[in-house]
Protein backbone atom coordinates (compact mmCIF):
# COMPACT_ATOMS: atom_id res chain seq x y z
CA UNK A 1 0.00 0.00 0.00
CA UNK A 2 2.83 2.36 0.98
CA UNK A 3 4.58 1.36 -2.27
CA UNK A 4 1.42 2.14 -4.31
CA UNK A 5 1.12 5.50 -2.58
CA UNK A 6 4.76 6.25 -3.36
CA UNK A 7 4.33 5.27 -7.03
CA UNK A 8 1.17 7.40 -7.27
CA UNK A 9 2.92 10.33 -5.65
CA UNK A 10 5.89 9.98 -8.00
CA UNK A 11 3.49 9.86 -10.97
CA UNK A 12 1.79 13.02 -9.66
CA UNK A 13 5.13 14.78 -9.38
CA UNK A 14 6.02 13.67 -12.89
CA UNK A 15 2.66 14.99 -14.24
CA UNK A 16 3.21 18.31 -12.50
CA UNK A 17 6.72 18.52 -13.95
CA UNK A 18 5.47 17.81 -17.44
CA UNK A 19 2.70 20.41 -17.11
CA UNK A 20 5.34 22.98 -16.13
CA UNK A 21 7.50 21.92 -19.12
CA UNK A 22 4.46 22.35 -21.39
CA UNK A 23 3.69 25.81 -20.03
CA UNK A 24 7.29 26.78 -20.65
CA UNK A 25 7.26 25.32 -24.19
CA UNK A 26 4.10 27.26 -25.11
CA UNK A 27 5.52 30.47 -23.64
CA UNK A 28 8.86 30.05 -25.44
CA UNK A 29 7.07 29.47 -28.75
CA UNK A 30 5.05 32.65 -28.18
CA UNK A 31 8.17 34.69 -27.37
CA UNK A 32 9.42 33.92 -30.90
CA UNK A 33 6.36 35.69 -32.37
CA UNK A 34 7.52 39.02 -30.92
CA UNK A 35 9.56 41.21 -33.25
CA UNK A 36 11.50 44.39 -32.74
CA UNK A 37 9.32 47.49 -32.81
CA UNK A 38 6.31 45.72 -31.31
CA UNK A 39 4.16 46.91 -28.45
CA UNK A 40 3.53 43.78 -26.38
CA UNK A 41 0.78 43.02 -23.85
CA UNK A 42 2.01 40.75 -21.07
CA UNK A 43 -0.49 38.43 -19.39
CA UNK A 44 -0.63 37.19 -15.82
CA UNK A 45 -0.24 33.75 -14.27
CA UNK A 46 2.13 30.84 -14.08
CA UNK A 47 2.22 30.22 -17.85
CA UNK A 48 2.73 33.88 -18.68
CA UNK A 49 5.56 33.91 -16.11
CA UNK A 50 7.57 31.63 -18.43
CA UNK A 51 7.15 34.16 -21.23
CA UNK A 52 9.00 36.98 -19.53
CA UNK A 53 12.47 35.35 -19.33
CA UNK A 54 12.01 33.91 -22.83
CA UNK A 55 11.25 37.39 -24.14
CA UNK A 56 14.06 39.01 -22.18
CA UNK A 57 16.54 36.46 -23.55
CA UNK A 58 15.71 37.52 -27.12
CA UNK A 59 17.36 40.87 -26.34
CA UNK A 60 15.12 42.81 -28.73
CA UNK A 61 16.11 46.49 -28.81
CA UNK A 62 12.88 48.23 -29.45
CA UNK A 63 9.88 46.59 -27.79
CA UNK A 64 7.58 48.17 -25.23
CA UNK A 65 5.65 45.96 -22.84
CA UNK A 66 2.35 46.69 -21.11
CA UNK A 67 1.74 44.57 -18.00
CA UNK A 68 -1.71 43.24 -17.08
CA UNK A 69 -1.09 43.15 -13.33
CA UNK A 70 1.24 44.43 -10.63
CA UNK A 71 2.80 40.93 -10.35
CA UNK A 72 3.59 40.88 -14.07
CA UNK A 73 4.93 44.42 -13.94
CA UNK A 74 7.27 43.45 -11.10
CA UNK A 75 8.50 40.29 -12.86
CA UNK A 76 9.02 42.08 -16.18
CA UNK A 77 10.86 44.96 -14.52
CA UNK A 78 13.18 42.54 -12.70
CA UNK A 79 14.14 41.03 -16.06
CA UNK A 80 14.80 44.40 -17.65
CA UNK A 81 11.87 44.27 -20.07
CA UNK A 82 10.96 47.83 -21.12
CA UNK A 83 7.60 48.74 -19.59
CA UNK A 84 5.06 51.32 -20.66
CA UNK A 85 1.44 52.08 -19.87
CA UNK A 86 -1.28 51.46 -22.43
CA UNK A 87 -1.67 55.23 -22.65
CA UNK A 88 2.05 55.67 -23.44
CA UNK A 89 1.76 53.27 -26.40
CA UNK A 90 -1.33 54.98 -27.80
CA UNK A 91 -3.87 52.38 -26.62
CA UNK A 92 -2.68 49.92 -29.26
CA UNK A 93 -0.57 46.75 -29.20
CA UNK A 94 0.80 44.61 -32.00
CA UNK A 95 0.59 41.48 -29.84
CA UNK A 96 -0.64 40.35 -26.42
CA UNK A 97 0.29 36.97 -24.94
CA UNK A 98 -1.48 35.37 -21.99
CA UNK A 99 -2.52 32.10 -20.38
CA UNK A 100 -6.04 30.74 -19.90
CA UNK A 101 -7.94 28.52 -17.48
CA UNK A 102 -10.17 26.83 -20.07
CA UNK A 103 -10.06 26.76 -23.88
CA UNK A 104 -12.83 25.18 -25.92
CA UNK A 105 -12.71 23.93 -29.52
CA UNK A 106 -14.25 27.13 -30.90
CA UNK A 107 -11.66 29.34 -29.16
CA UNK A 108 -13.81 30.54 -26.28
CA UNK A 109 -11.70 31.07 -23.18
CA UNK A 110 -12.28 31.29 -19.47
CA UNK A 111 -9.66 33.50 -17.82
CA UNK A 112 -9.20 35.15 -14.46
CA UNK A 113 -8.18 32.57 -11.91
CA UNK A 114 -5.48 35.10 -11.03
CA UNK A 115 -8.08 37.87 -10.82
CA UNK A 116 -6.48 39.93 -13.60
CA UNK A 117 -9.14 39.28 -16.26
CA UNK A 118 -10.42 42.88 -16.53
CA UNK A 119 -7.00 44.27 -17.46
CA UNK A 120 -6.15 41.15 -19.48
CA UNK A 121 -9.29 41.59 -21.58
CA UNK A 122 -8.39 45.22 -22.29
CA UNK A 123 -4.91 44.19 -23.48
CA UNK A 124 -6.36 41.36 -25.59
CA UNK A 125 -8.82 43.77 -27.20
CA UNK A 126 -6.14 46.43 -27.77
CA UNK A 127 -3.89 43.92 -29.55
CA UNK A 128 -3.97 43.16 -33.26
CA UNK A 129 -2.93 39.63 -32.34
CA UNK A 130 -3.89 37.92 -29.08
CA UNK A 131 -1.93 34.73 -28.50
CA UNK A 132 -3.05 32.25 -25.83
CA UNK A 133 -0.46 29.96 -24.29
CA UNK A 134 -1.37 26.87 -22.30
CA UNK A 135 -0.54 23.32 -21.29
CA UNK A 136 -2.79 20.66 -22.79
CA UNK A 137 -5.13 20.16 -19.81
CA UNK A 138 -6.59 23.65 -20.35
CA UNK A 139 -8.32 22.40 -23.50
CA UNK A 140 -11.87 21.37 -22.58
CA UNK A 141 -14.85 19.93 -24.44
CA UNK A 142 -17.24 22.37 -22.78
CA UNK A 143 -16.66 25.43 -20.62
CA UNK A 144 -17.79 25.25 -17.03
CA UNK A 145 -17.80 27.23 -13.79
CA UNK A 146 -16.22 29.04 -12.07
CA UNK A 147 -16.42 32.08 -14.36
CA UNK A 148 -14.39 34.91 -12.81
CA UNK A 149 -16.13 38.24 -12.28
CA UNK A 150 -14.87 41.71 -11.41
CA UNK A 151 -17.61 43.81 -9.80
CA UNK A 152 -17.91 47.35 -8.55
CA UNK A 153 -17.80 47.52 -4.77
CA UNK A 154 -20.85 49.75 -4.74
CA UNK A 155 -23.89 47.53 -5.00
CA UNK A 156 -21.91 44.27 -5.07
CA UNK A 157 -24.59 42.61 -2.90
CA UNK A 158 -27.11 43.36 -5.66
CA UNK A 159 -24.81 42.30 -8.52
CA UNK A 160 -23.96 39.01 -6.81
CA UNK A 161 -27.67 38.32 -6.26
CA UNK A 162 -28.49 39.17 -9.89
CA UNK A 163 -25.73 36.80 -11.02
CA UNK A 164 -26.68 34.03 -8.61
CA UNK A 165 -25.15 31.55 -7.97
CA UNK A 166 -21.97 33.49 -7.46
CA UNK A 167 -19.54 33.95 -4.61
CA UNK A 168 -16.96 36.54 -3.60
CA UNK A 169 -13.44 35.16 -3.77
CA UNK A 170 -11.46 35.35 -0.56
CA UNK A 171 -8.52 37.70 -0.66
CA UNK A 172 -7.96 41.24 -1.72
CA UNK A 173 -9.67 43.55 -4.17
CA UNK A 174 -8.50 43.85 -7.78
CA UNK A 175 -5.70 46.37 -8.52
CA UNK A 176 -8.49 48.71 -9.64
CA UNK A 177 -10.26 48.42 -6.28
CA UNK A 178 -13.06 46.13 -7.43
CA UNK A 179 -14.50 42.93 -5.96
CA UNK A 180 -13.27 39.64 -7.45
CA UNK A 181 -15.96 36.95 -7.46
CA UNK A 182 -16.93 33.82 -9.40
CA UNK A 183 -20.15 32.89 -11.18
CA UNK A 184 -20.84 29.27 -10.24
CA UNK A 185 -23.84 28.40 -12.41
CA UNK A 186 -23.83 26.31 -15.58
CA UNK A 187 -22.32 27.58 -18.84
CA UNK A 188 -24.81 26.27 -21.38
CA UNK A 189 -24.27 28.98 -23.97
CA UNK A 190 -21.10 31.03 -23.47
CA UNK A 191 -22.23 33.95 -25.68
CA UNK A 192 -25.58 34.18 -23.90
CA UNK A 193 -23.99 34.01 -20.46
CA UNK A 194 -21.34 36.60 -21.43
CA UNK A 195 -24.10 38.95 -22.63
CA UNK A 196 -26.14 38.38 -19.46
CA UNK A 197 -23.18 39.08 -17.15
CA UNK A 198 -22.11 42.15 -19.15
CA UNK A 199 -25.65 43.54 -19.02
CA UNK A 200 -25.89 43.20 -15.24
CA UNK A 201 -25.33 46.56 -13.54
CA UNK A 202 -22.21 46.57 -11.38
CA UNK A 203 -20.26 44.20 -13.63
CA UNK A 204 -16.84 45.60 -14.54
CA UNK A 205 -15.62 42.53 -16.43
CA UNK A 206 -15.95 38.76 -16.63
CA UNK A 207 -13.60 35.97 -17.59
CA UNK A 208 -15.43 34.75 -20.71
CA UNK A 209 -13.29 35.76 -23.70
CA UNK A 210 -14.98 35.21 -27.11
CA UNK A 211 -13.13 33.67 -30.08
CA UNK A 212 -13.32 37.09 -31.80
CA UNK A 213 -10.66 38.29 -29.34
CA UNK A 214 -8.34 35.35 -29.92
CA UNK A 215 -5.91 35.04 -32.86
CA UNK A 216 -3.71 32.07 -31.96
CA UNK A 217 -3.64 29.30 -29.39
CA UNK A 218 -0.33 27.64 -28.59
CA UNK A 219 -1.31 24.47 -26.79
CA UNK A 220 1.58 22.40 -25.50
CA UNK A 221 1.27 18.65 -24.95
CA UNK A 222 3.67 15.76 -24.46
CA UNK A 223 4.32 15.68 -28.24
CA UNK A 224 5.10 19.38 -28.62
CA UNK A 225 3.32 22.68 -29.18
CA UNK A 226 0.23 22.67 -31.36
CA UNK A 227 -0.39 26.04 -33.06
CA UNK A 228 -4.11 26.67 -33.66
CA UNK A 229 -5.30 29.80 -35.41
CA UNK A 230 -8.81 30.93 -34.56
CA UNK A 231 -11.06 31.54 -37.55
CA UNK A 232 -13.07 34.77 -37.52
CA UNK A 233 -16.15 34.91 -39.77
C1 LIG B 1 -5.06 35.42 -14.60
C2 LIG B 1 -5.37 34.57 -15.77
C3 LIG B 1 -4.38 33.50 -16.11
O4 LIG B 1 -3.87 33.76 -17.38
C5 LIG B 1 -5.08 32.17 -16.06
O6 LIG B 1 -5.66 32.02 -14.78
C7 LIG B 1 -4.10 31.03 -16.34
O8 LIG B 1 -3.17 31.00 -15.28
P9 LIG B 1 -2.03 29.90 -15.22
O10 LIG B 1 -1.16 30.12 -16.41
O11 LIG B 1 -1.35 30.17 -13.92
O12 LIG B 1 -2.69 28.54 -15.25
O13 LIG B 1 -6.36 34.69 -16.45
O14 LIG B 1 -6.09 36.32 -14.33
109-110/102-103 β-pairing:
antiparallel
User: Which of 99, 110, 118, 135 to probe ligand 1 with, by most ligand atoms within 8 A of CB?
Assistant: 99
Residue 4 has pLDDT above 70, yes or no: no
Atom of ligand 1 nearest to the CA of 99: 4
Closest-lying ligand 1 atom to the alpha carbon of residue 113: 6
User: The domain containing residue 72 runs over which residues?
Assistant: 2-229
Which tens digit of pLDDT belongs to each residue from 28-62?
999 999 999 999 999 999 999 999 999 999 989 99
Peptide bond just before 49 cis, omega within 30 deg: no
If residue 164 lies in a helix (H) or strand (E), which one and from where to where?
none
Backbone phi, then psi, for 181, in 5-degree steps? -140, 180
Nearest to 109 by CA among 233, 19, 206: 206
Q: What is the C-alpha separation between 127 and 97, in angstroms, rounded?
A: 9
CATH of the domain at 57: 3.40.50.1360
Q: Find the mean pLDDT for residues 202-214.
A: 98
Nearest CA to ligand 1 atom 2: 112
Predicted pLDDT at 5: 55
C-alpha 126 – ligand 1 centre gap (Å): 19
Ligand 1 site: residues with CB under 6 angstroms? 43-48, 98-101, 111-117, 120
Tell how far the Cα of 17 is from the centroid of ligand 1, in angstroms. Answer: 18
Question: Residue whose CA is closest, atom 10 of ligand 1?
Answer: 47
- The whole-number pLDDT of residue 2 equals 54
> How far, in Å, CA of 108 to CA of 211, rounded?
5
**Confidence grade of residue 15 (pLDDT, cut at 50, 70, 90):** confident
Find the 153 Cα to ligand 1 centroid distance in Å: 23
Q: Report the domain count for the chain.
A: 1
CA angle 122, 55, 69 (to 5 degrees): 35
* Cα 158-162-163 angle, rounded to 5 deg: 120
CA of 5 to the centre of ligand 1 (A): 30
Active-site option among 28, 73, 94, 120: 120
State yes or no: is 137 an active-site residue: no
- Stretch 84-102: mean pLDDT: 98
Amino acid sequence: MAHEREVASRAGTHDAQSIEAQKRAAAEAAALLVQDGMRVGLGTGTTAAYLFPALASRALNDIRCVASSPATEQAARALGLPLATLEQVGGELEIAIDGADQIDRRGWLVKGRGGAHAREKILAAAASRFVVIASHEKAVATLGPPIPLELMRFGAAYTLRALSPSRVRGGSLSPDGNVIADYLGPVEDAAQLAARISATPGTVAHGLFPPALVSDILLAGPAGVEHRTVAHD
